[in-house]
Structure 1
Amino acid sequence: MTPPRCPRRMERDAQFTQRKAERATLRSHFRDKYRLPKNETDESQIQMAGGDVELPRELAKMIEEDTEEEEEKASVLGQLASLPGLDLGSLKDKAQATLGDLKQSAEKCYIM
């Protein structure tokens, strides 16, 4: 006959399973992001924890910041900002001045 499991041990095992699932979820996020092959071990750890793992705030914030940073870099302005020696402020001013000139020209045009 097997002895009953200690409640503390059960609680500790549940916490350990949750932490393993959190780390597996984080790894899965980065595998998806960088289009790496899925890992069966991570998938099984997530399923053992109930399938829908909620990350701790610190990890969720890290993923959110990473996603925002990637989106910013992917944008046109993000690409322009990474060019050395480019002054976005003066470029924006020139674009607005050109737009103003175009509006004035369009107002003077009698065909339109």
Structure 2
Amino acid sequence: METKMERDANFAQKKAERATVRSHFRDKYRLPKNEIDDTQIQQAGDDVELPTELAKMIAEDNQEEEQKQSVIGQLTNIQNVDLDQLKDKAQATLEDLKQSAEKCSVM
């Protein structure tokens, strides 16, 4: 049997975990802070650990955001873009530049 104190401690821990997740997303999306969440996290002290499932979801979300912000990620968001064709064209342009540089009589 759990005592009332143990139940209260577990409940406070769960509330702090949820507040931590909410705080993470507020920071990420630059939303205003919530004093209630901050208070719940402080009351739990440094014992707040995210459940592994939530931590994994946050990590995956961050990875997706980083990919979307990369140049290739931006290009894949544009419809009808053939990345292989772009790579081939870039490679051909480099080869043309090399050949032009070899033919240059000044060098």
Please give the alpha-carbon distance, in whole angstroms, between the structure 2 residues aligned to 1:75 and 1:52: 35
Q: In the superposition, relative to structure 1, how do residues 38 and 51 fare at CA in structure 2: closer, same or farther (>3 Å)?
A: farther
Please give the alpha-carbon distance, in whole angstroms, between the structure 2 residues aligned to 1:111 and 1:21: 70
Q: CA deviation at 1:101?
A: 1.8
Please give the alpha-carbon distance, in whole angstroms, between the structure 1 residues aligned to 2:47 and 2:61: 21
Q: Paired residue for 2:70?
A: 75
* One of 3, 25, 32 as aligned partner of 1:30: 25
SS in 1 for 2:45: coil
Question: Which structure has more helix as a fraction of its residues?
Answer: 2
SS in 2 for 1:50: helix
Deviations 1:13-44 (A, max 9, x none): 22211111111011001111111110000000
* One of 4, 10, 34 as aligned partner of 1:15: 10
Please give the alpha-carbon distance, in whole angstroms, between the structure 2 residues aligned to 1:29 and 1:52: 16
Unpaired runs of 5+ residues, structure 2, are: none
- Counterpart AA for 1:59: L
* Aligned residue-pair number: 107
Q: CA deviation at 1:7?
A: 5.7
Moved runs in structure 1, 4+ residues, more than 6 A?
Answer: none
Q: CA deviation at 1:12?
A: 1.9
TM-score (structure 1 length as normaliser)? 0.85
1:98 corresponds to 2:93 = yes
Q: CA deviation at 1:56?
A: 1.1
Q: CA deviation at 1:8?
A: 2.8
> Which has the higher mean CA deviation after the structures are superposed, 21-30 or 96-105?
96-105
SS in 2 for 1:49: helix
Please give the alpha-carbon distance, in whole angstroms, between the structure 2 residues aligned to 1:7 and 1:83: 56
TM-score (structure 2 length as normaliser)? 0.89
